[in-house]
Amino acid sequence: MIFGEVDIVGEPMKRRTLIAGMAGLAATPIIGRSPAAALPEVLDPTDRAHLGLLQKKLIYSTDDRPLIWWIRGNKYGSINGALTPLWTLNVVLFKAVSHNEDGTFDVKSMEIVYKTNVETDEPLSKWRNPYNGEVYDEEPLIMGPLSRGFTNEGPVSQSELPGASIQRQGHLGPAEIAGDDVWLISDANVVVDREGQRRFRANDLSTYHGKVSNVLNPDLPSAPSTMTVHIIQSWHPWMNMGDREGTLVTRISGAKCFTIEDIHPRILTMVKEHHPKIAKDFVARLNGPPENFDR
């Protein structure tokens, strides 16, 4: 689950179920209105309004614009503390921000995940589970687009997806400041219960980094920033892990940008190869219907 928006705790539900929940979300047009906002002279990491400003500047934008996050790293299996590399995640998140008069804002998001071999970095068409020997077909995965509301506390909880009981807790902050560097923490914990399946848990621990001078610059609606994410979660149900105790651990990092050509070159190659229309005009796809997929 990146940003707590699109990848709903790492596919605990069948994807057709996820899309059914998305279909009820209202489409949000991408517009260009830029609301005025007063900037503080000094950032206070304990001030909730300042944390909200950091959220907008580092993760999103203070004006209405499309943006992109790319993220890359490995997924591991962990049993009794022993880590086994499983695959490399190559993720691109397309987003469009629109602000509301009350200071809240909405984000329309679409996420594409490409899995590659940990050793060769070649795209995976099949993946063998090292724990049970099962082999699964793999293909690029699109999730979204969907819309989500945000406040100074972080994302507004979403638990209306059908077929599951979802408990979600998110927390924005604290922030750490050292000189001109600032780090913003954003955590999310999700518990999903579905009939006939083991309880699914996911903990997303995200850290965003940028410059204080950029955050306080009124001429920069969206400050240059990077992110590191650690995810600790239950086994994916589709892995058929049975009663094996263990967890999945993800370590990924990336950066924000505003044009498709600025994403990581390995991810850019895969986007252009598998999704050329999105590579050409991702904003148009953000205004389209949710992707219809299944596994």
Residue 231 lies in a domain: yes
Closest CA to 95 of 12, 140, 28, 26: 28
Interatomic CA distance for residues 132 and 269, integer angstroms: 32
pLDDT for 198: 82
Written as six digits, the tokens of 226 are 């990077």
Closest CA to 97 of 46, 61, 134, 45: 61
Interatomic CA distance for residues 232 and 77, integer angstroms: 10
Residue 35 lies in a domain: no
Residue 74 lies in a domain: yes
Residue 169 lies in a domain: yes
pLDDT for 156: 66
Residue 140 lies in a domain: yes
Burial class (CB in 10 A: 0-12, 13-18, 19+), 280: exposed
- What is the model's pTM? 0.84
Residue 293 lies in a domain: no
Interatomic CA distance for residues 282 and 271, integer angstroms: 11
Residue 292 lies in a domain: no
Partners of 68 in the β-ladder: 94, 257
Interatomic CA distance for residues 227 and 183, integer angstroms: 9
Q: Which domain holds residue 135?
A: 8-26+42-286
How many separate domains does the chain show? 1
Residue 192 lies in a domain: yes
pLDDT for 293: 43
Beta strands in the chain (DSSP E): 66-79, 82-99, 105-116, 126-128, 135-137, 141-151, 154-155, 165-178, 181-193, 200-211, 226-233, 247-257
> Please, which residues have CB within 8 angstroms of residue 142's CB and are 6 or more apart in sequence?
110, 111, 112, 275, 291, 293
pLDDT for 25: 32
Angle at 291 between CA 138 and CA 281, to 5 degrees: 100
User: Which of the residues in the chain have pLDDT under 50?
Assistant: 1-36, 159-160, 293-295
pLDDT for 163: 63
pLDDT for 71: 98
